[in-house]
Amino acid sequence: MTAALAVTSLSAGYGSAPVIRGISFEVLPGEIVALLGRNGAGKTTTLLAISGLVRARAGEVSVGGKVLPAHHPRAVTRAGVGHVPEERALFANLSVRDNLAVAGARRAHDLRRVLELFPELERLLDRRSGLLSGGEQQMLALARAVYQRPKVLLVDEMSLGLAPKICQRLVGVLRRLATEQGMAVVLVEQHLFLALEAADRAYVLHRGEITLSGTRAELAERRAELEAAYLGSVTAGATAA
């Protein structure tokens, strides 16, 4: 099966400082893959480099087998990559309905499809998104990305500042998107247990390199190594898969 997203030897950074160094991974359609790691490991930079917001210094990104042009966010979006950044990036002065409308010229049934996933948003359609609670904002951010019907969905720090109940609810939505719509999801998380619960597979980043990877079951068995990765004492190359 062709990977929905394939990242090959990707390197990126800011100024003269390299942040990710030659990382490679794949996500199949209908699969949820988590990128794990401590602060500064390079998780967010990986997503930004995929989206073209940070210029890749080396390597390539392909979606559905097609290589994307480097540093061209619009082409990445057109190729079917949706990105929910860490800060949610909503248009705070626009209503919920307008936030969705800006995402794409879709028909009424598209709105219904999204509201079916996030029924909580229906009664908030005419409220300014800046006035929503954190959980509602995260729902809207996800809904807006889903509204564009992406093949690959990149979600950065979904659980940040949210109650566990909301996190569970959102994980359920991601699972539905993956299984029902065949969407490939890349989930960047610091919340280790939530990520392992949501993901089919996971990659652990340490100082810009993948140091550990495996399926959920494999990683659950190597919990000590996984925790060590978070504490920073894992050795490079300890790959389970």
Q: Using CB under 8 A, list all residues that contact other proteins.
A: 51, 53, 73-74, 77-78, 83, 85, 89-94, 98-99, 101-105, 144, 148
CB nearer to other proteins: pick between 94 and 240: 94
9: left (phi over 0), alpha (psi -120 to 50) or beta: left
- Nearest CB to other proteins, comparing residues 138 and 211: 138
Residue among 90 and 192 whose Cβ is closer to other proteins: 90
C-beta of 46: minimal distance to other proteins in Å? 15
Q: Which is nearer to other proteins, 139 or 192 (CB)?
A: 139
11-19: long-range contacts (C-beta < 8 A, 24 or more apart)?
A: 11/56, 11/57, 11/58, 11/59, 12/45, 12/46, 12/48, 12/49, 12/54, 12/55, 12/56, 12/57, 13/45, 13/54, 13/57, 14/45, 14/54, 18/57, 18/208, 19/45, 19/208
**Least CB distance from residue 212 to other proteins, whole Å?**
29
Q: Smallest gap, in angstroms, from Cβ of residue 143 to other proteins?
A: 13
Residue listed under structure tokens 């659980």:
159
State in angstroms the smallest separation of the CB of 51 from other proteins: 6
